[in-house]
Amino acid sequence: MLNIRHILRLHTQNQTMSEIIVQTGIHRIPLKKIINDFKESKLSFSEINELSDADLQDLFKKPVEKEHSEKLQTLYNLFPYIDKELKRKGVTKQLLWEEYKNKNPNGISKRAFYKHFSKWKSRKIPVMRQDHKAGDKLYIDFAGEKLAITDKETGKEKSVEVFVAVLGASQLTYVEAVMTQKKEDFIPACENALHYIQGVPAAIVPDNLRSAVTKSDRYEPTINETFADFAEHYNTTILPARAYRPKDKAVVENTIKIIYTRIYAKLRDTIFFSIEELNKAIVITLEEHNNQPISGTDQTRRQQYENNEKAFLLALPAIRYEFKKQSYATVDRKGHVALSADKHFYSVPYHFIGKRVKIMFTNYNVEVFYNYERIAIHKRLQSPYKYSTDIEHLPPTHRFVAELEPEKLLSIADEIHNDVKIYITKILELKHHPEYLYKVCMGVLNLSKKYGTERLTKACQRSLVFGVYNYRIIKKILESGLEIYEDEQEDTEKQMPLHDNIRGSDYYK
Give the domain ranges of the chain. 2-60, 70-124, 137-312, 325-395, 404-495
Cα distance between residue 69 and residue 107, in whole Å = 11
Amino acid 80: pLDDT: 84
Amino acid 59: pLDDT: 64
Cα distance between residue 366 and residue 378, in whole Å = 5
Amino acid 492: pLDDT: 45
Beta strands 365-370; 356-361: pairing state = antiparallel
Statement: residue 248 has pLDDT above 70: no
Amino acid 126: pLDDT: 44
Average pLDDT, stretch 455-474? 90
Amino acid 336: pLDDT: 92
Beta strands 325-330; 356-361: pairing state = antiparallel
Amino acid 190: pLDDT: 93
Beta strands 387-388; 344-347: pairing state = parallel
Cα distance between residue 315 and residue 321, in whole Å = 14
> Where residue 302 falls among pLDDT bands split at 50, 70, 90?
very high
Residue 113 falls in which region: left (phi positive, over 0), alpha (psi -120 to 50) or beta: alpha
Statement: residue 124 has pLDDT above 60: no
Amino acid 129: pLDDT: 44
Widest Cα–Cα separation across the chain: 176
Q: What pairs with residue 329 in β-bridges?
A: 357
Cα distance between residue 119 and residue 181, in whole Å = 41
Q: Are 172 and 302 in contact (CB under 8 A)?
A: yes
Q: What pairs with residue 360 in β-bridges?
A: 326, 367
* Mean of pLDDT over the chain: 80
Number of Cα atoms under 13 Å in the Cβ half of residue 221:
24
Statement: residue 291 has pLDDT above 80: yes
Alpha-carbon dihedral of residues 328, 333, 334, 337, nearest 10 degrees?
0
Task: Please count the other Cβ atoms lying within 10 Å of the Cβ belonging to residue 74.
Answer: 15
Cα distance between residue 89 and residue 360, in whole Å = 37
Amino acid 273: pLDDT: 92
Amino acid 501: pLDDT: 52
Map 71-130 to HEC letters: HHHHHHHHHHHHHHHCCCCCCCHHHHHHHHHHHCCCCCCHHHHHHHHHHHHHHHCCCCCC
Multiple choice CATH, 137-312, 3.10.129.10, 3.40.50.170, 3.30.420.10, 1.50.10.20: 3.30.420.10
> Where residue 242 falls among pLDDT bands split at 50, 70, 90?
low
Instruction: Give the predicted TM-score (pTM) of the model.
Output: 0.50
Could you say which DSSP state residue 455 is in?
H
